[in-house]
Structure 1
Amino acid sequence: MKKLLASVGFLLLSFSLFAVDVNKGELESAQTDSIMFENYGGPHAVIETADAIMGIGSNLGRQVAADVENPLSVEPYSKYSLYHVVGGEGEKGLDADILFLNQTAGVDHINNLRRIVTGFLMAAYGYSREDSETLAVFITVYNAVYRGQLSAFSSKYKAAVLTYLTEDSVGLSTNWEEWAGKTQIVIPLGALAEGTASVETSEISDDKVIEALRSEEDKNVEVREKMADIKEKEAGDASEKAKTAQKEAAQEKKEGKKAEAAESAKESEKQQKIADRKNDEVKSEREQIEKDKAEVKKEKAGESQKYLTSLFIVDEKHKLYSLMTVNPQTGEIVKKSSIKQIREKTIYPVAEGFVAVCGVDDGHSAVKLCLVDSETLEIKKQSDETLSDDSSLLQAGDAYYVIIVENGKNYLAAFDKNLTLKKKSDVAINGASPLNFYSEGILVTDEKGKPVLLALPNLNSVWQ
């Protein structure tokens, strides 16, 4: 794993001149061959659990599971709607489930969107959680690859499916800001029979999708192996169905049921073709995966470069910053954080990453004390408490000091490295107060504009 050398601390604004050279052209061109989802990276005003987010999909899926052979509209006027579209019997093309992210949908990270899809697949079609998570990755990449390409869907899906799709919304944008009200996630379905259905895995893992996955640094070998496992199970199931139908054909022939025997023989041939096709896909993909594993291993063996991670300005007007990791030898951008709302030019390195003040007070986000992972540059944890918009950040010893908001008042607060609130001042202070550290305590401005000295470690006022 690459070693990240943290070049952080009290950064001068003039240092952002380096960012002018690299954060426009190079950021836009970095990893353009892959599907890179741009997620909301800041803290949230309200945090939902992973299970609650999966529950959104589960609720949609349970209603589909009740009758998979017939078309169904599920919660068409909610934040998330699902259209189970079944075309005419015998019609060429694929049936589909279409997940609409409506105007009020709040999902803003690809991981959470995949949780919704995972919950849906588990409830609707009985996939295991692991298989559902694998399918969710492929479904989202598939929809990103074919975003806005209505013609690509027109050539593969039944007419009934196409009536729901529009060119400006079909598929999935890589930018979360374009999801709500502008997203139609298409989930292709295999043949519906005897009250069962499944995702058409060959469609969501076509050459373009595989190439998008392979363009990542790790070539996504793990999730591709899991897809190969799913296809192997599908091949095995189809092979068993072929054998069963073949036996039925033989028995019906003995009984003189020529028409029935012919149908069973036809079904046996159909299932065997599916099994052969899936096995061929698995063989080809596993061969490529082994080659990719060797290439990734070789690249990792040669990695010894230390990189620099630091702050760069992204919004000069509002004084908001982001983190980037760069190669000090070439200036190449190795990693770009999705967090674009770091409020201070001061961040502090800890074992798990960096402590920073992040967010904006806009309802969706909130100003929080955040722990940013040093590898992913994503928020790993955020404080429960909300901070003043103008809060400074000060480290002294093992504590991190910021100004929190509580019942409309501002207080100096001390947090540990796990972002747990340890102490709070006994007097209210100005939300924009500088935090001046002395051996006697922290000198701040109270809400009336007067100086107040707060003793350490309890943050009680020295001057009564």
Structure 2
Amino acid sequence: MKNAFQKIVFLCAVVLINFSMLFALEVNRDEITSTRAETVIFENYTGPHSVIESVQAIKNIGRKLGNSLSNPAVSARIGSGGRYYVIHAVDSNVKEKFDADIFVLEPSASVDHIANLRRIISSYLSSAYNYSESDADTLSVFITVYNAVYRGKIDFFKSKYKDVVTKELTPEKAGLALSYTQWPGMTQIVIPLSDPVSGGLSTVDTSAISDSNVVSSMREESDKGIDVRKNMVEIKEKEAAVAEEKAQAAQKQAVEGQKQLKADQEKLAEQKKEAEKAQKKAEAAPGNKNLQKEAKAAEQKVAQTERKIEEQKQKIEENVQKAETEQKKADTKNSEAVTERETIAKDQQQLINAMAANENVPSAYALRLYNEAKRLSVLVKVNKKTGEIINESPVTVIRNRAVYPAGENFTAIAGENTGNGIVKLVLLDKEKMEITAESQETVAEDSVLVEHNNELYCVLSERNKFYVARYNKELKLLAKSSTAVKSGTPITVDEKTLYVTDESGKIALLSASDLKPVK
């Protein structure tokens, strides 16, 4: 992504998996070419966690913030002092441009996956503006992509948002960074509001968050974002239906107002005649107090009816304008929905064709180097003839370039000791290549992973000490050494003995079965 994201992928170490081990293969290519410069790919922490928060606990963060929005018509700062807060920035005196909710992540914010960030935003929208859970989920996806596309583009925000919004934004924080490592203390997620007071379906401006740049970015995803784009189309169709109803209701009120106006105008004409007669009688008998009162009363009736007619005309004009505005909105939403449905249909066909083409292609699993500096890898499924990636694991923190087959899974060391992260031995399934199980014990960050006799050896981290461990392929701990070792010790195995470097730097011999010192 220009100005937001330039992600270079070094495929300088790809390891093909056979039945026993991974063999090295040198490859070098760009993950995102210039033709995909606007693609949004969020970098999430996908390894084990030291503390696992439930989905409900994560949603409660947003729900609590939303429940604190007591008066949507007034600007407010919600949740100050916590890890997350919202700046509700509205100005009813300015009619042009958007109001906004600015969702801010403090330096202490611990969210490290886009799915959880979206859960927080979704629950906020549901509690603050009465969105259904499914609609709020859809909006949260578009909001995050929208903020990634326009990350740091302060001139864009100034062109679309009121001053009450932009005065709160800073160029280095506006929008959403692609890497979770840049979220805490550096994030101002801007949510465009078109009707913050009424709440409900059209509070968030769906046209803004699904503009051509956002949709184009989604179309570059592996699944082309089809499901969530379909959901957005359905929201727009619902918006169009509601706008149609409002337009029809306003038009009906305008027609009824015209009927009432005609009756009032006829009534006014009669009242003017009566007032004229009363005035003539009063003028003919200036000393007659009753005739003077009757003339004055007749004039007041005329004035009252004239005021009523002017008010009626204003109401009619307002209803006509409302009908036009709502009909225009309905037409816009319907047009966007129709266009997007056509595009989605084409994208679906492309996916079907691609799946059919890949169905019988000879494939292999490999490791692609994801972060050269940290030596982190990601498991991929590739076309054996072309090297083209067919599917990629969401787990981007596989350590030390080693993965071993384990039945229908793969075993690896994965994770990072950052934030809420931790390093463990994990299982990844072959279909989605997601973590399905992890060891109870914490693994040393620079531990090797060695396979021998269908069992695994690695180095555990316990209270600043390191020990060799033996596991089966189900990640059950079978043995742990009493001898402390270097965290990055090589592990050399023959039939009965392990050769490792102990904490003093000397070679130690351990039994391959129980890991006790060999004497």
- Say whether the fold is shared (TM-score over 0.5): yes
Q: Which amino acid aligns with 1:297?
A: I
Distance change >3 Å, CA 168–CA 46, structure 1 → 2 = same
Where do residues 152-301 of structure 1 align in structure 2 (5 Å cutoff)?
Answer: 152-194=156-198, 198-256=203-261, 257-301=312-356
Unaligned runs of at least 5 residues, structure 2: 1-14, 262-311
- How many angstroms apart in 1 are the aligned matches of 2:491 and 2:53? 33
1:26 aligned counterpart, secondary structure:
coil
For residues 114 and 220 of structure 2, what CA distance do their matches in structure 1 show?
A: 18
- Is 1:367–1:388's contact at 8 Å kept on the other side of the alignment? yes
CA–CA distance in structure 2, aligned partners of residues 39 and 126 of structure 1: 29
User: What is the correspondence of 1:10-409 to structure 2 with a 5 Å cutoff?
Assistant: 10-11=21-22, 15=24, 18-19=26-27, 22=28, 26-27=30-31, 29=33, 31-64=36-69, 66-194=70-198, 198-256=203-261, 257-303=312-358, 304-311=360-367, 321-323=377-379, 327-331=383-387, 341-362=397-418, 364-374=420-430, 379-396=435-452, 399-406=455-462
Q: Distance in 1 between matches of 2:333 and 2:123?
A: 25
User: Relative to 1, partners in 2 of residues 1:292 and 1:11: Cα closer, same or farther, differing over 3 Å?
Assistant: closer
Deviation at 1:278, TM superposition (A): 0.7
| Greater mean deviation of Cα atoms: 347-356 or 117-126 | 347-356
CA gap of 1:62–1:406, structure 2 versus 1, over 3 A, is same
Give the drift of 1:444: 7.0
Deviation at 1:187, TM superposition (A): 0.8
Contact 1:361 1:367 in 2 (8 A): yes
SS in 2 for 1:171: coil
Deviation at 1:382, TM superposition (A): 3.3
Are 2:411 and 2:426, in contact at CA under 8 Å, matched by a contact in 1?
A: yes
Q: Which amino acid aligns with 1:453?
A: S
Equivalent residues of 1:307, 1:328 under 8 A apart: yes
How far, CA to CA, are the matches of 1:267 and 1:314 in structure 2?
Answer: 54
Residue 412 of structure 2 contacts residue 426 of structure 2 at CA under 8 Å; is this kept in 1?
Answer: yes
For the Cα contact (< 8 Å) 2:66–2:125, is it kept in 1?
yes
Provide the rounded CA distance (Å) in 2 between the counterparts of 1:41 and 1:111: 11
The size of the alignment, in residue pairs, is 449
Question: Which residue of 465, 485, 488 corresponds with 1:430?
Answer: 485
Once the 2 structures are TM-superposed, how far is the Cα of residue 225 of structure 1 from its aligned partner?
A: 0.9
Are the structure 2 counterparts of residues 252 and 364 from structure 1 closer, same or farther at C-alpha, using a change threshold of 3 Å?
same
**TM-score after normalising by structure 2:** 0.75
| Partners of 2:472 and 2:478 within 8 A in 1 | no
- 1-structure distance, mates of 2:467, 2:143: 47
Distance 2:327 2:41 in 1: 37
- Quick check: 1:43–1:368 contact (8 Å CA) kept in 2? yes
Amino acid corresponding to residue 313 of structure 2 in structure 1: K
1:326–1:164 Cα change, 3 Å: same
Distance 2:37 2:383 in 1: 18
Shift of 1:89: 3.4
Aligned amino acid, residue 89 of structure 1: N
Distance 1:328 1:194, change over 3 A: closer
Q: Do the aligned partners of 2:459 and 2:466 also contact (CA within 8 Å) in 1?
A: yes
Shift of 1:451: 3.8
Q: Is the 8 A contact 1:443 1:453 kept in 2?
A: no
Listed one character per residue, the Cα deviations across residues 111-149 of structure 1 (whole Å, up to 9, x for unaligned) are 222222122122222222222221111111111111121
Is contact 2:365–2:381 with CA below 8 Å preserved after alignment? Answer: yes
For residues 203 and 373 of structure 2, the distance between their equivalents in structure 1, rounded to whole angstroms, comes to 51
Residue 275 to residue 412, structure 1, CA distance change in 2 (3 Å): same
Structure 1 unaligned blocks of 5 or more: none
Report 1 or 2 for greater relative contact order, CA contacts < 8 Å, sequence distance ≥ 6. Answer: 1
Q: For 1:91 and 1:68, how far apart are their aligned partners in 2?
A: 16
C-alpha contact (below 8 Å) 1:61/1:124 kept by paired residues: yes
CA distance in 2, matches of 1:140, 1:380: 27
* Residue 186 (structure 1) shift: 0.8
RMSD: 3.5
